[in-house]
Amino acid sequence: EPEVTQTPSHQVTQMGQEVILRCVPISNHLYFYWYRQILGQKVEFLVSFYNNEISEKSEIFDDQFSVERPDGSNFTLKIRSTKLEDSAMYFCASSLRGTEQYFGPGTRLTVT
């Protein structure tokens, strides 16, 4: 069964550094998303992406964040200058028709 994959599984970075989290969505899907979950808290929406542009973003997704689909298979989330409070589990999701979303296993980001 096709699945969403994410790399790396765990990323440790120093405050102020740039990080890129990578996702490979399910191959024929058209809608892509990033969510995050701070330890012990709710899953929070960051951004959705469709037709090569952002379709919706949350207040969390400020100028420090960007997304890109550099080729036909990858979908990336960049955090320009990480802060301690960016430490969280980051989940990528994809959807064929924008209805049910399929999530990856997540990347644990630790900012020190």
Partner 1 sequence: DAKTTQPNSMESNEEEPVHLPCNHSTISGTDYIHWYRQLPSQGPEYVIHGLTSNVNNRMASLAIAEDRKSSTLILHRATLRDAAVYYCILRVLNQAGTALIFGKGTTLSVSS
Q: How many CA atoms lie within 13 A of 18 on its CB side?
A: 9
The verdict on whether omega for the bond into residue 105 sits within 30 degrees of 0, i.e. cis, is: no
Choice between 66 and 102, CB closer to partner 1: 102
87 lies in the site for partner 1, by CB under 8 A: no
Give one DSSP letter per residue of 48-67, joined into a string: EEETTEEEEE-TT--TTEEE
Per CB under 8 A, the list member of 42, 52, 70, 71 interacting with partner 1 is: 42
Return the bridge partners of 38, or none.
none
Q: How far is the CB of 14 from partner 1 (least distance, A)?
A: 25
38 lies in the site for partner 1, by CB under 8 A: no
Write the Ramachandran bin of 81: left for phi over 0, alpha for psi from -120 to 50, otherwise beta: beta
Q: How far is the CB of 111 from partner 1 (least distance, A)?
A: 20
How many distinct helices (H) and strands (E) make up the chain? 0, 11
Q: How far is the CB of 24 from partner 1 (least distance, A)?
A: 14
48 lies in the site for partner 1, by CB under 8 A: yes
Q: How far is the CB of 44 from partner 1 (least distance, A)?
A: 7
Angstrom distance (rounded) from CA 46 to CA 104: 15
User: Under the rule (CB under 8 A), what is the footprint of partner 1?
Assistant: 4, 31, 33, 35, 42-45, 48, 50, 55-56, 58, 91, 93, 95, 97-106
